[in-house]
């Protein structure tokens, strides 16, 4: 075997943490319980000569909007291997120019003011937060990247206050590590899309499922962790069964029930990630023994919908989702599929867990309540936009002006329902949209690229032998009323 090949094999066979050592190292230090201050250091293993650029995300995957995370960075500094401080210049946008021609940037340091972030970002689910006995860090809200090094493997060292449990969705385990933890990320995207939890108030539990499932719950009021864990387990099982295979090794659901920071703060949205979902709700929405069956069913559906996103669009996506652009929200033409079809998939996945008749009735009632009745309440000007145009508009304000989000997912959900109905009828129940979506996920894994809208009917037909192009075209057009 040639020496180079042997070396390559050796490197590939190394455990991930060792393999990542030659790459980038991120060090996160949170030292005092309740402190608003997080310290971050990025170490470049092989500093190259010349200027570097540090970039903080403003757009985040599935965020459909922008958040000014760069605003909360303070004391950005850069150093050579000798420890010599190098020049730092704040630039337009979320960027810092570091070093100078001839200098070698070996280490970048900065601090993040978590209290300022939580105060100034009004959508609770988009912010990290620190409490006297709890810390939640959304990777992309606190971790920047060095331009040009986004694809490098990353080693992450996390240090917390004395005796605090430290948990990362990149390598979840219970009980959590104490005080410090080292994990590896395949690249910047994987790191940015992960979450870190710390503190004794983060209640962690492992739920055996198709793959190990973890629930991390933080609640500022009464909450029934066992009940929530049961719903998460059922939702995950159903969605995993629906897609037929699980393309990740573990999954974490992060739930927070928070006392609103102000009247202007809202806590209503979940966020999906590669190997996790994070949910922030106000504390009165927490599940307790008094929670009605109806509310439990709605919560289970909500969780299932976000879990479904780990297949669509996190691993099977239209243009704009990946490769991801961090500084400016991408204009995406297929939100109706990512959101509408993923919601329909979650509905159908839960229906599969019921007796046939009950499942069909559930599916029909959800199509009515989630899609048809939602659309009836939306203004005509949004319904009369071509769906691709509406999708691009929702790309930057999906939840901020939720009328755009609601109209785009409802039209997509009804398109999915109509396609599913035709597939079932034409094949006498042998095929359904589930088969088309499983095939689409396989197609994406094979092709490693975004699908284009016009490719979808062919892909669906290969899976089911059923033509759906006319349904697609009908729903892409402006609606008549
Ligand atoms: Zn969604």
CATH of the domain at 339: 1.10.390.10
Measured in Å, residue 305 CA sits from the centre of ligand 1 at: 6
- Tell me the CA–centroid distance for residue 21 and ligand 1, in Å: 36
Structural domain boundaries, residue 150: 21-201
Sequence-distant (≥ 6) Cβ neighbours of residue 404 within 8 angstroms:
382, 390, 393, 394, 397, 398
For tokens 């975004």, the residue is: 450
How big is the chain, counted in residues? 481
CA distances to 42, 55, 72, 309, 331 from 149, rounded to whole Å, are: 11, 11, 22, 27, 24
Query: How many angstroms is it from 232 CA to the middle of ligand 1?
Result: 16
Distance from the alpha carbon of residue 253 to the mean position of ligand 1, in angstroms? 15
CB 331 within 8 A of CB 372: no
Among 137, 168, 201, the domain-final residue is 201
Q: How far, in Å, from the CA of 8 to the mean position of ligand 1? A: 40
- Per DSSP, the three-state class of 104 is strand
Q: Is residue 247 part of a domain?
A: no
Decide which of 146, 171, 201 is a domain's last residue: 201
309 C-alpha to ligand 1 centroid (Å): 7
Q: Mark which of 201, 224, 248 sits at the end of a domain.
A: 201
Ligand 1 center to 306 CA (angstroms): 6
> How far is the centre of ligand 1, averaged over its atoms, from the C-alpha of 163 (Å)?
36
For residue 318, the CA-to-ligand 1 centroid distance in Å is 15
Q: Cα of 52 to ligand 1 centre, how many Å?
A: 36
State the distance from the centre of ligand 1 to the C-alpha of 355, rounded, in angstroms: 26
Residues in CB range of 296: below 8 A, 6 or more apart: 227, 231, 287
- 347 Cα–ligand 1 center, Å: 12
Peptide bond into 313 cis (omega under 30): yes
Tokens of 1: 């075997």
Distance (angstroms) between ligand 1 centre and the Cα of 405 equals 9
Total of domains in the chain = 2
The answer to whether residue 185 sits within a structural domain is: yes
Interhelix angle for 456-464 vs 469-476, to 10°?
Answer: 150
Tell me the two tokens of residue 157: 């060292």
Is residue 261, in this structure, part of any structural domain at all?
no
Q: What totals of helices (H) and strands (E) does the chain contain, helices first?
A: 17, 21
Between the CA of 335 and the centroid of ligand 1 the distance, in Å, is 9
57 in a structural domain: yes
**Ligand 1 centre from 280 Cα, in Å?**
14
Residue 3 confidence (pLDDT): 44
Q: Is 480 left (phi over 0), alpha (psi -120 to 50) or beta?
A: alpha
Whether the predicted interface score ipTM is above 0.90: yes
Query: Does 189 lie in the same domain as 334?
Result: no
Instruction: Judge whether 479 lies within some domain.
Output: yes
Q: How far is the CA of 271 from the centre of ligand 1 (A)?
A: 8
Using alpha carbons only, what angle is made at residue 121 by residues 168 and 335, rounded to the nearest 5 degrees? 75
How remote is the CA of residue 400 from the centroid of ligand 1, in Å? 14
Q: Is residue 261 within 8 Å of residue 118, measured between CB atoms?
A: yes
Please give the distance, rounded to the nearest whole angstrom, from the Cα atom of residue 118 to the centre of ligand 1: 23
Q: Is residue 130 part of a domain?
A: yes
Residue 272 Cα to ligand 1 middle (Å) = 8
- Determine the distance separating the centroid of ligand 1 and the alpha carbon of 150, expressed in angstroms: 26
Residues in CB range of 155: below 8 A, 6 or more apart: 17, 20, 21, 23, 24, 25, 26, 182, 184
Asked if residue 471 and residue 334 are part of one domain, the reply reads yes
Separation of CA 428 and ligand 1 centre (Å): 30
DSSP three-state, residue 60: coil
Tell me, in angstroms, the distance from the centre of ligand 1 to residue 62's CA.
8
68 Cα–ligand 1 center, Å: 22
Same-domain pairing of 327 and 463: yes
Q: Which residues neighbour ligand 1 (ion) by CB within 5 Å?
A: 339
- What averages of pLDDT result for each successive group of 10 residues across the chain (481 residues)? 43 42 86 97 88 97 94 97 96 97 94 98 96 98 97 97 98 98 98 98 96 98 96 98 97 97 92 96 93 95 97 96 93 97 98 97 97 97 98 95 97 98 98 98 98 98 98 97 69
Residue 457 sits at φ, ψ, to 5 deg, of: -60, -35
Structure tokens belonging to residue 91: 């630039």
Kindly give the distance from the C-alpha atom of residue 343 to the centroid of ligand 1, in angstroms, as a whole number. Answer: 7
Distance 313 CA to ligand 1 centre (A): 9
- For residue 413, the CA-to-ligand 1 centroid distance in Å is 11
pLDDT of residue 48: 77
Distance CA 118, CA 113 (A): 9
DSSP run (H or E) holding 129:
strand 129-131
Residue 419 inside a domain? The answer is yes
- The reply to whether 392 falls in a domain is yes
Cα–ligand 1 centroid distance for 409 (angstroms): 8
Q: Return the pLDDT at 22.
A: 52
Nearest-CA neighbor of 280 among 304, 260, 251?
260
Query: How far does residue 73's CA lie from ligand 1's centre (Å)?
Result: 29
Residue 339 Cα, ligand 1 centroid: separation in angstroms?
Answer: 5
């Amino acid at each position: 075997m040639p020496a180079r090949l042997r070396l390559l094999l050796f490197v590939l066979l190394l455990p991930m943490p060792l393999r990542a050592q030659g790459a980038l190292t991120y060090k996160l230090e949170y030292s005092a319980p309740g402190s608003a201050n997080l310290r971050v250091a990025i170490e470049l293993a092989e500093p190259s000569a010349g200027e570097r650029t540090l970039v903080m995300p403003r757009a985040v995957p599935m965020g459909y909007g922008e958040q000014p995370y760069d605003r909360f960075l303070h004391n950005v500094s850069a150093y050579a291997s000798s420890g010599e401080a190098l020049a730092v210049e704040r630039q337009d946008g979320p960027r810092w120019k570091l070093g100078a021609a001839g200098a070698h940037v070996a280490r970048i340091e900065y601090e993040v003011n978590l209290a300022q972030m939580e105060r100034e970002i009004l959508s609770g689910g988009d912010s990290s937060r620190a409490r006297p006995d709890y810390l939640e860090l959304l990777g992309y809200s606190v971790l920047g990247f060095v331009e040009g090094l986004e694809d490098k493997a990353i080693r992450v060292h996390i240090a917390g206050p004395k005796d605090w449990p430290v948990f990362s969705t990149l390598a979840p385990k219970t009980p959590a590590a104490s005080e410090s933890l080292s994990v590896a990320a395949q690249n910047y995207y994987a790191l940015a899309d992960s979450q870190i939890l710390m503190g004794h108030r983060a209640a962690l539990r492992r739920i055996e499922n198709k793959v190990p499932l973890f629930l991390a719950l933080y609640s500022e009021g009464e909450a029934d962790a066992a009940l929530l864990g049961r719903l998460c387990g059922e939702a995950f099982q159903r969605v995993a069964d629906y897609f037929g295979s699980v393309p990740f090794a573990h999954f974490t659901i992060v739930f927070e029930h928070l006392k609103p920071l102000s009247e202007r703060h809202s806590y209503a949205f979940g966020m999906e990630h590669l190997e996790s979902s994070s949910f922030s709700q106000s504390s009165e929405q927490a599940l307790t023994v008094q929670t009605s069956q109806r509310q439990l069913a709605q919560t289970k559906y909500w969780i299932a919908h976000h879990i479904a996103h780990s297949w669509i669009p996190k691993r099977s996506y239209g243009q704009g989702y990946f490769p991801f652009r961090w500084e400016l929200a991408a204009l995406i033409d297929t939100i109706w599929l990512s959101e509408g079809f993923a919601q329909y998939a979650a509905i159908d996945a839960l229906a599969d867990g019921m007796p046939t008749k009950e499942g069909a009735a559930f599916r029909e009632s959800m199509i009515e309540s989630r899609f048809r009745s939602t659309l009836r309440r939306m203004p005509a000007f949004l319904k009369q936009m071509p769906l691709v145009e509406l999708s691009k508009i929702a790309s930057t304000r999906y939840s901020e002006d939720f009328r755009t989000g609601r109209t785009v997912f409802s039209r997509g959900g009804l398109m999915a329902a109509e396609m599913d109905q035709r597939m079932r009828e034409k094949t006498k129940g042998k095929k359904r949209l589930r088969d088309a979506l499983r095939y689409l996920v396989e197609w994406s894994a094979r092709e490693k690229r975004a699908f284009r809208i016009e490719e979808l009917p062919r892909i669906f037909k290969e899976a089911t032998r059923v033509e759906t192009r006319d349904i697609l075209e009908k729903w892409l057009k402006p609606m008549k009323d």
